[in-house]
Amino acid sequence: MAVAQAAVNVFQTITATVGIATQVVYTAPIAYTGVILLSQVTNVSGSTETISFGYRREGVDTPIVKDLDIPANDTVNLLAGKLVVETGDSLTLVGSNGSNLRYLSSVLETSNL
């Protein structure tokens, strides 16, 4: 009997406009661990905005960056290195404006099978 094989490594690019309510921008899928390679936010407005970025496991939020100022027309990196996101865990974002902050992330999902 043949068994279908899952891809061992899958690359994902995630983009989102950051809202003023906390939103989940990535959740590691079942049987995969996500390795966040890049995570950044760009402020496309003419004034300073703030961003909060967090890690959620089983409903418990852990701040990674809280109320970080992003100058007008600038970009900030939200991670100094890589971050492992285990199956079912999520990344969250909330900003000070509902249209001026743009999120971009690169994720390597690797199979746990």
Q: Tens digits of per-residue pLDDT, 57-80?
A: 999 999 999 999 999 999 999 999
Element at 88 (helix H, strand E): none
Owning domain of residue 39: 9-111
Return d(Cα 94, Cα 74) in angstroms, integer: 17
Res. 1: pLDDT tops 50: no
**Counted domains in the chain:** 1
- 27: number of Cβ within 10 Å: 15
What CATH number does the domain containing 44 carry?
Answer: 2.60.120.340
Q: Provide the CA 36 distance to its chain's centre, in angstroms.
A: 8
User: pLDDT (tens digit, 9 = 90+) per residue, 29-56?
Assistant: 999 999 999 999 999 999 999 999 999 9
In a domain, 1, yes or no: no
In a domain, 3, yes or no: no
In a domain, 32, yes or no: yes
Return d(Cα 110, Cα 113) in angstroms, integer: 9
Closest to 28 in 3D by CA, of 104, 82, 108: 108
